[in-house]
Amino acid sequence: MVASIQFESLSGNIEFKQILKSNKVMSNLFTIYYRKLDQELQNNKKVILSCVSAKKLGNAVKRNRIRRRLKMATRKAIEEMKTSFNKKMKYAIFAKAKVYDVDFQIMVDELKKKFKEVKYH
């Protein structure tokens, strides 16, 4: 069995503000903000990524389900991409309301497509 990918969350308001000023790739399911990692973190084996669901998407139960689905889909997309995933970036993925109802595999495929776009920026 392949070792599971470890995520490290973005920490602090400053880091989120920096990443929101950076590049973004949009989809009808989510928006991926990304920024190049600092030099000292580039040898890190973990993927620095946060999944965010806004309060307007629903109550806490619904938002947590959206975040869990998005995180698992991201994990699966990264595993399927293998070496083509860019680990030298940090990511913030903001969910949209459609993530709650969409088929899981569609979400994984959309994430793979958008992560490939990130790679070439």
**E strand intervals along the chain:** 7-8, 23-26, 30-36, 47-52, 89-95
CATH class of the domain comprising 7-119: alpha beta
Q: Would you list the domain boundaries of the chain?
A: 7-119
Spatial distance between the Cα atoms of 94 and 73, rounded to a whole number of angstroms: 13
pLDDT per residue, tens digit, the chain (121 aa), is 355 778 888 888 888 899 999 999 999 999 999 998 877 666 667 888 999 999 999 999 999 999 999 999 999 999 998 878 888 889 999 999 999 999 999 999 999 999 988 866 5
| 81 token code pair | 């991409």
Q: What is the pTM of this model?
A: 0.88
Spatial distance between the Cα atoms of 54 and 80, rounded to a whole number of angstroms: 28
